[in-house]
Amino acid sequence: MPERHQGTGKALLERLLMLAPAAAGLAVGVLIVEALRFERLAWRFWLGARPDPESVSYGKVVVTIILSVLAAHVVWVAVARIFDGRRGWLESLRRHAVSFVPFASILVLFVIDAHGIIPDAMLFSVHALVISAGAFVGITSGLAAARPQYEDHPWAPWLERRALVVVCAAAVVYWITFSAMGTLQYLSLRISYTDTASWEQMLWNTMRGRFLVTSAFDHMFFGEHVQFVHLLLLPFYALLPSLVTLMILKSAVLASGAFPVYLLARRRLQSKAAAALLACAYLLYPAMQYVDLELVNNTFRPVAFAIPALLWAVYFLDRRRMWAFSLAAFVALASKEEMALPVMMMGVLLLLDRKYTWGAVVTVFTAVWFVVSVVWVIPGVRGAPTHMYLYYLDFGDDLTFTRLLWRVVSNPLHTLSVALQPVKIDYLLLLFVPLGLRPLFSWRMLLVMLPSLGTTLLASRDPSFTIYYHYQAALVPLLVAGAVYGVENCRSILPRILCRLVEADKSTLERGAAAGLVVLVFASSFFGNILFAQSPLSLLFHNPNMDTHWRRRYVPDERARLFFREVRPLVPPDAGVSATEFLATYFAARRDIHVFPIGLGDVEYLVIDSRDRWMLETLSKVGTTLEAILADVPYRKIYDRDGFLVYRMDGSGGDT
């Protein structure tokens, strides 16, 4: 009797699975219809879209869903034919129907939203689409790898033999692409001074005996952050003194992070091909790419160095090469004081692994580093409490270090309510979904990232809990390493599921599971890049409604060429300058450079872009105009063309 029931249950499951392609087509059709009706959902895919709900008639809805279902069946038949053509048609279709099951998540969100269980649940469907598409490719690859004739395919051994070459090529492509994007953005006058070019001024001043001094602050930079890793770039900057030099080196450093990912994955998964795909997934990971080039106009931050440094730290920790781990950890600490938190948690891992001496040293040293930096060094140099307390106003506006910790711990319900707001859940999905959710299956990396995750989830300042800036820099390497460990941990579970669909021995099933999981991570990162990143693969790169459109951000126009040809040469290299935000960038290599109107009356030159939107908005907020500010200043205008104004204090020269 039990065998009969088991056979009946298996037959029922097989029949239900045969409906999965139709359900997937229905899910995609519903998603398209909803995006055509609701602007907020449409913007999740194409910012600036203007859907017209009245044009979506009942007939269009039916046609859209029918076409989606038909398309799903065409894909189903094609996949079955390509990957299982030697089997009978029915058997091939049965095996590959399971690949469509993840798309049911979109239907689940639709039902939840339609019944008001979770308002606006369909806004999360963009994540469901990415993970469903990634899972579809991953499951299909796993089923293909679980076939006995898998090893007969030439690409499998080819990738295994040339895995390191593939990683090197991918890293070089990434480096060239993002270096070119940064350089073109520089030439297009699309880079702000305060959060980018001020780093160049720090190096320029340091070379002249003024250690990490910048005009952006009235104190040495340690009053903002304990961050000095960019001093490693001084020899290169001395040879080629330009912000472009720093940007190219930063992109190279981030590209180099692919190598510790490759080494870690090769060690844990015992497969060079799998390691190569996971290294490429790192290079495609949207949260990493935004540390390289932010969504706004910032193109260089030394915190980027923490990503490869922490990846090397994880790899050396896995190998128990403690002195090499210490060096990588110190580079991470030099990247920003908050990097002490993940390194401290790596010390906790050592304690849990009964490596008591090293564990105690790492944990205590990094904890002291963080506390001393935040409580003493930054306020001491700044002459006031650290500005970082302003990021956590949900816990009060009278914060100190101990007061913030106490309020977080003593009121867990309030802490959870702050951390689990819908916008922050979306942030978590932006971090985990492009890695196929695999980091969730690595408790060790989840433990290591817990404090860093808390610093972003508990913040009240919007940029802190998005992937579009740099605040996720400490999380990126831990999430990628977590994906590697997550794939390893899931390998033992999936064969139990695959054995119901594929008749093969244990080793073959394990091979299929490993291949499917690795491809899941890679495909999720690829699809996530298309929807969430701003690389040349992404929708944002090609969206004409956005400032991220390639023609707006990366193609220098005639005004930009005019600036480099006529405006910048008017200012001597040793003169003090006050310039608007996006022009000050190009005068950073000097002692006195300020963002207009700061420095007015103290510097020799004013360089103004009268069309600068940020300046005009700022002046509007304080109730004044550019004309009013310039009415009584002791400067003579020496240049006025196409919105560029240059004034000189010495009174010589005339209007042009």
pLDDT digits 0-9 by tens, 89-139 = 777 888 888 899 999 999 999 999 998 898 889 999 999 999 999 999 999
600 confidence band (pLDDT: 50, 70, 90):
confident
> What mean pLDDT is predicted for residues 524-549?
95
The mean of the pLDDT values for the chain is 90
pLDDT of residue 654: 45
Alpha carbons 464 and 466: distance in angstroms, whole number: 6
Percent of the chain past pLDDT 70, that is, above it, reads: 93
Cβ of 388: how many Cβ atoms within 10 Å? 20
Least confident of 59-63, 347-351, 450-454: 59-63
In the predicted model, is pLDDT for residue 156 greater than 80? no
116 and 220 inside one domain: no
Give me the number of domains the chain comprises. 3
Residue 3: is its pLDDT beyond 60? no
Q: How many CA atoms lie within 13 A of 100 on its CB side?
A: 30
Q: Is residue 228 part of a domain?
A: yes
Q: In terms of domains, do 241 and 373 share one?
A: yes
Q: Does 325 share its domain with 205?
A: yes
Q: Do 43 and 73 belong together in one domain?
A: yes
Average pLDDT over residues 296-307: 94
Secondary structure of 296-336 in HEC code, one letter for each residue: CCCCCCHHHHHHHHHHHHHHHHHHCCHHHHHHHHHHHHHHC
Rounded Cα distance between 255 and 174, Å, is 6
Domain boundary among 490, 513, 543: 490
Q: What is the pLDDT of residues 456-495, one digit of tens each?
A: 999 998 889 999 999 999 999 999 999 999 999 988 777 6
Instruction: Examine residue 351 and state whether it is found in any structural domain, yes or no.
Output: yes
Task: Note whether residue 521 is domain-resident.
Answer: no
Same domain, 151 and 198: no
Q: Are residues 600 and 481 in the same domain?
A: no
The pTM for the full model equals 0.94
Judge whether residue 4 has pLDDT over 60: no
Same domain as 150, residue 224: no
Altogether, the residues listed in the chain come to a count of: 656
* Domain final position from 158, 188, 207: 158
Q: Report yes or no on 83 lying in a domain.
A: yes
Mean pLDDT of the region 567-575: 94
Boundary residue ending a domain (442, 474, 490)? 490
**180: CB partners within 8 A, 6+ apart:** none
Both tokens of 290, joined, read 């935004």
What one-letter code names the amino acid at 243?
L
- How many Cβ atoms sit within 10 Å of the Cβ of residue 107? 18
7 pLDDT above the threshold of 70: no
Looking at the structure, tell me whether residues 121 and 164 fall in a common domain.
no
Instruction: Establish if 89 belongs to a structural domain.
Output: yes
Strand 605-609, strand 577-579: pairing: parallel
Give the residue numbers spanning the domain of 115. 2-158
- Does residue 378 share a domain with residue 480? yes
For residue 274, is it within any domain?
Answer: yes
Q: What is the mean pLDDT of residues 358-380?
A: 96
252 shares its domain with 310: yes
Beta-bridged to residue 647, according to DSSP, are: 606, 637
92 and 39 in one domain?
yes
Say how far apart CA 187 and CA 429 lie, in whole Å: 35
Evaluate whether residue 543 is within a structural domain.
no
Question: HEC states along 226-276?
Answer: CCCHHHHHHHHHHHCCCHHHHHHHHHHHHHHCHHHHHHHHHHHHCCHHHHH
Please indicate, yes or no, if residue 523 is contained in any of the structural domains: no
Does one domain contain both 149 and 167?
no
What DSSP line would sit under 373-391, residue for residue?
A: IIIIIHHHHHTS--GGGGG
